[in-house]
Amino acid sequence: MRRCRGFTLIEVLVALAIVVIGMAAVLGALTSSANTVSYLRDKTFAQWVGLNQIATLRLSGQMTATGNSDGDTEFAGRHWHWRREVTTTQVPGVVRIDVKVRPAEIKADEDKGWFTTVSGIQGDAVGVPNTVVPDWGAQVLPGFQGQNSGGLGSQGVGTPGGVGSPVPIGPGGIGGQGGIGVQGGIGVQGGLGTPPAPNPPPPPQPPSDSDPDSD
């Protein structure tokens, strides 16, 4: 009878060792990814805590005294430890605020273990006001003066408003008070008049008696 040969004990152990090494590598990658996500989450929360501290100082309405201070606060269901450093700047009346934040459960010295550092400024320095007022509103079109008998109108630019009421054609020339309004539309009065009728030619003069050709 033919004998069936199986795996030896050494071959099984080698196969198990390869599987264990592969699983360990996969678990290590998953653990590292989870730790990275957790660290980024805590770092984002720490930045928000620091920004809240700076915003609170600005909204207080009082100048923050220079120096160092620290404290604890609660945010996102956790306790955070912050350290605030306030220093002067080259601009009088303006101070710089640096806030360092880390989770409260991390015990470290003053220079290590911080997750983030947020910086901001606070001051009562007031700049020189600018007298230039930008034009944020509607665009105003330049008005045109009306014409009066071929020349410029007597009253200049028309009043603002919509389209004027219809006006019958005048006896001659161009309207006296028309023109385009400053903010759009056509003036109330005016309109294009009809040209004047030409004057009739003079009648012929009869010959006088003193004309020598009449004899």
Task: Kindly tell me if the per-residue pLDDT of 191 is higher than 60.
Answer: no
Please report whether residue 2 resides in a domain.
Answer: no
Q: Please indicate, yes or no, if residue 107 is contained in any of the structural domains.
A: yes
pTM (two decimals)? 0.49
Quick check: 166 pLDDT over 60? no
- The answer on pLDDT for 98 being more than 80 is yes
Q: pLDDT tens-digit profile of 61-90?
A: 888 899 999 999 999 899 999 999 999 998
Assess if residue 205 is contained within a domain: no
Q: Taking the CB of residue 101, how many other CB atoms lie within 10 A of it? A: 27
Q: Cα–Cα–Cα angle for 115, 118, 123, nearest 5°?
A: 160
Alpha-carbon distance values, 171 to 36, 175, 179, 186, 191 (Å): 90, 10, 18, 20, 12
Domains held by the chain: number: 1
Residue 140 lies in a domain: no
Give me the phi and psi of 42, to 5 degrees please: -65, -35
Distances (CA, A) of 88 to 61, 94, 98, 128, 183: 18, 7, 11, 22, 53
Query: What's the domain range around 15?
Result: 9-123
In a domain, 195, yes or no: no
Read off the CATH number of the domain in which 92 is found. 3.30.1300.30
